[in-house]
Amino acid sequence: MQFQRARSDKQKNIRMSEIVNATINLYESLQYDKITLALIAKQLSFSRANLYKYVSTKEEIFLLIISGDIENWSKEVVKFFDKYDALSAEEFCKLWSELLYRHKRIIELFCILNTIIARNVSAEKLAAFKKQIHKDFTRTKKVVKRFFPFMSKEQLKFFIEYQMKYAVGVYPATIINDVQKKASELSGIPSNVKDFESSFSKFLMVILNGIEITI
């Protein structure tokens, strides 16, 4: 495309959407550390200098990607669970696990959010990100509350925070490459994690049982 600097807010939003989409396309085929602003600019067919007019670092773009993914996930959570009047704890945890896994890019990027991404963005952009995801997580808390009305405000906060922390912990263990597979065979020690959904679902049950015990 021929580069033309956006002037109006509408044009700027369109340009940022193009930048985000180009980065997503690269992320589908490249590891995070292989993606650069130069590659993103090339994907858009304009110079890196022009890209700097909109973003300062690639981390700013990935912050927008995470924010957009969480918003989409939270809205799907509301829509998906709206069709159920009641669910057992086991059913809820299974469905919740499957739904989060369908948005697994959230988990992938949350794995490096605090250690890499958040360290290379401005405080203002990070604050805006935190405000947005707080609103999205609040949306999901209302869904949890509908199926588990005994939960207090603090317990809902606990559930949402810990389910994401465990997702970040268990997800990498489900991505087994050839070297890791060979190492398991040679050591005779198999991985305890078979797949994300079943492992995550079991942990959600642990959280729920723990919350009920404390009531």
Supply the pLDDT for residue 173: 81
Q: CATH assignment of 58-214?
A: 1.10.357.10
Are the C-beta atoms of 52 and 117 separated by less than 8 Å? no
**Pair of tokens at residue 1:** 């495309």
Mean pLDDT of the chain: 91
Q: Would residue 188 be called left, alpha or beta, if left means φ above 0 and alpha means ψ between -120 and 50 degrees?
A: left
98 CB-near residues (< 8 Å, 6+ apart)? 197
Q: Would the pTM count as exceeding 0.85?
A: yes
Report the chain's C-alpha Rg in angstroms. 20
Closest CA to 112 of 157, 70, 59: 59
Tally of CB atoms within 10 A around 62: 23
Which residues in 125-152 are b (16+ Cβ under 10 Å) and which e? Answer: bbeebeebbeebbebbbebbbebbeebe
Average pLDDT over residues 21-37: 97
Percent of the chain scoring above 70 in pLDDT? 93
Chain position carrying tokens 């922390």: 165
Rounded to an integer, the average pLDDT of 154-179 is 88
- Decide if pLDDT at 129 tops 70: yes
What confidence score (pLDDT) does residue 185 get?
A: 77
Q: Is the pLDDT of residue 107 over 70?
A: yes
- Mean pLDDT calculated for residue range 21-26: 98
pLDDT at 5 over 80: no
**Domains of the chain by residue range:** 1-55, 58-214
37-46, 89-98, 114-123, 170-179: which range is least confident on average?
Answer: 170-179
User: Residues 20, 31: contact at Cβ < 8 Å?
Assistant: no
What is the pLDDT at residue 181? 72
**The pLDDT of residue 14 is above 80:** yes
Band the pLDDT of 211: cuts 50, 70, 90.
confident
Residue 141 has pLDDT above 70, yes or no: yes
Sequence-distant (6+) residues with CB within 8 A of 209 are none
Q: Please give the pLDDT value at position 193.
A: 61
pLDDT band at 1 (very low <50, low <70, confident <90, very high): very low
Q: Which CATH number fits domain 1-55: 1.10.3470, 2.30.30, 4.10.60, 1.10.10?
A: 1.10.10
User: What angle, 0 to 180 degrees and rounded to 10, lies between the N-to-C axes of helices 123-147 and 58-81?
Assistant: 10
